[in-house]
Amino acid sequence: MKFEILKKDKNTDARAGTISLPHGKVETPSFVPVGTQASVKALSPQELKEIEVQIFFGNTYHLYLRPGAAIIQELGGIHKFMGWDGPIMTDSGGFQVFSLGLGKLKLKIEKEKLKIAGRYETPYENASPVCAGKLDPSVPIRRLRMTFKESKTGKNQFLAEFAEEGVRFKSHLDGSEHFLTPEKSIQIQKQLGADIILAFDDCTPYPVDYAYAELSMERTHRWAERSLKEFKRLRTKTKAGLRPQFLASGQSLYGVIQGSTFEDLRKKSARFIDALGTEGIAIGGMAVGESKKLMYKTLEWTIPELEEEKPRHLLGVGEVDDIFEAVERGVDTLDCVTPTRLARHKNLFVHPKIAALEKSKSRFNLIITNAKYAADKSPVDPLCQCVVCQNYSRAYLHHLYKSNEILGVRLGTYHNLYFLVSLMKQIREAIADNRFQRLKQEWLV
């Protein structure tokens, strides 16, 4: 990987540059759409190219469970498997097992009023470890937290256990038990073969107390060291021709920063991960329940501690206002399910001027199934240049969505992604011309 900073904004910490990767260049700041199952939902790789998406984000947890990393490797790696020859990044699986343990549980609680029987404040407790799926009661491990959900029968169902060695979890697909460690996460990501891969981290839930956040951060640091060690080991062996099953060469590893919303922990974590020597830095544990204001503050504590020369990726953040605030504080890339998920839920992006004209509740999108669009001849966003806005009316999209036609979600997703890719282009141009703040003011009125 080669990262070049081409321009720094005079008035903010925003910067524009390029990341050169084995499968092509990424212009930064860049939005990285999420393609969880080696597919950006509803769009083909050819359409992603048309939209000028430069890189997307695959989820190790999902691909490991289905179809399995070995199958993808056998078929030539993730690029060949899905017919996309551009850059890809994968996460470590850490966030997904975290979601399994907490995020989804919260959703379930809201929907079904289930109770949490989890106990996370039992650090350093002895428990039976599981290695490679097998119980080995002779080795004590230190447990950070376990999560359960209470089933209808009143019995607790095990979801995930976070321990020093790794995370034991149950597959959401078939209930089978798995054990993910930093080493295993790197091995899987090597097999998948993305251009950028992530160190395995313990995504700290929110809110937690200081002691818990510190334990979780320290574990993330130990896991980052183990991830890097495994990454180097496999690279050396691949070069020596000893491990041909780990084919991907030219991969870059990003370390992940945690530290919850505590200033000294975030700074400590940033310094630690920065000094590790990974090629890029990812900022994790954000947008997990804290306020936007606190998220921006946390970025302000974190980023100044980082070396300028490394690219910085913000994990799981990507609403329009967040994009501006993150870029302003020096973030280079960020990934989020927002554009694709919103499109599936009838929310289509529009410029804030259009949203104001439409009296939309949201500053950046409108709900296409709203009755007022049933006979509306205008495009979704009259300011958008995408194929959808050039060819179809709101009325047609309204009809497709109302009729549950697959094309509705496809066109909606196409527009939403185009909208964000085009916004990032405008942001890069604004940084180049030293007018980033003016552009931000235009958008965030």
Q: Per the structure block, which two tokens stand in for 329?
A: 């504080």
Q: Which stretch binds Zn ion (CB under 5 A): 17-25, 291-299, 309-317, 409-417?
A: 409-417
Q: Which of 415, 427, 431, 443 binds Zn ion (CB under 5 A)?
A: 415
Residue number with CB closer to Zn ion (385 or 441): 385
* Cβ atoms 364, 320 nearer than 8 A: yes
Q: Which residues contact 318 (CB under 8 A, 6 or more apart)?
A: 31, 334, 335, 336, 337, 338, 339, 420
Q: Which stretch binds Zn ion (CB under 5 A): 227-235, 300-308, 325-333, 414-422?
A: 414-422
From residue 366 to residue 405, the character string flagging contacts with Zn ion as x (rule: CB under 5 A) and all else as - is ------------------x-x-xx----------------
Residue 421 as a binder of Zn ion (CB under 5 A): the answer is: no
For 337-422, list the strands marked E by DSSP: 347-349, 365-367
Q: Tokens 């599981």 identify what position?
A: 130
Q: Which residues contact 136 (CB under 8 A, 6 or more apart)?
A: 128, 129, 130
Query: Rounded CA gap, 379 and 418, in Å?
Result: 14
Residue number with CB closer to Zn ion (49 or 237): 49
Q: Per the structure block, which two tokens stand in for 101?
A: 């343990």
- Catalytic-residue membership of 91: yes
Q: How far is CA 429 from CA 15, 16, 348, in A?
A: 11, 9, 24
Query: Rounded CA gap, 47 and 40, in Å?
Result: 10
Q: Which of 9, 91, 195, 274 is catalytic?
A: 91
Residue 228 as a binder of Zn ion (CB under 5 A): the answer is: no
Question: Minimum distance between the CB of residue 88 and Zn ion, rounded to whole angstroms?
Answer: 25
- Catalytic-residue membership of 335: yes
Q: Which amino acid, 433?
A: D
Judged by CB under 5 A, how many residues of this single chain contact Zn ion? 5
Q: Per the structure block, which two tokens stand in for 60?
A: 């190790």
Give me the phi and psi of 195, to 5 degrees please.
Answer: -70, -40
Residue number with CB closer to Zn ion (206 or 392): 392
Question: Minimum distance between the CB of residue 50 and Zn ion, rounded to whole angstroms?
Answer: 12
Residue number with CB closer to Zn ion (390 or 403): 390
Residue number with CB closer to Zn ion (160 or 388): 388
Residue number with CB closer to Zn ion (282 or 389): 389
Question: Minimum distance between the CB of residue 6 and Zn ion, rounded to whole angstroms?
Answer: 28
Question: Minimum distance between the CB of residue 351 and Zn ion, rounded to whole angstroms?
Answer: 10
Question: Minimum distance between the CB of residue 419 and Zn ion, rounded to whole angstroms?
Answer: 6
**CA angle 402-418-297, nearest 5°?**
105
Could you tell me how far CA 433 lies from the centroid of its own chain? Answer: 29
Question: Minimum distance between the CB of residue 392 and Zn ion, rounded to whole angstroms?
Answer: 9
Q: Which of 195, 274, 335, 381 is catalytic?
A: 335
Of 320, 276, 314, 274, nearest to 298 by C-alpha is 314
Question: Minimum distance between the CB of residue 414 and Zn ion, rounded to whole angstroms?
Answer: 8
Query: Rounded CA gap, 392 and 395, in Å?
Result: 8
Of 144, 142, 151, nearest to 117 by C-alpha is 151
Residue 417 as a binder of Zn ion (CB under 5 A): the answer is: no
Residue number with CB closer to Zn ion (53 or 167): 53
Where in the sequence numbering do the catalytic residues fall? 91, 335
Binding site for Zn ion (CB under 5 A): 384, 386, 388-389, 415
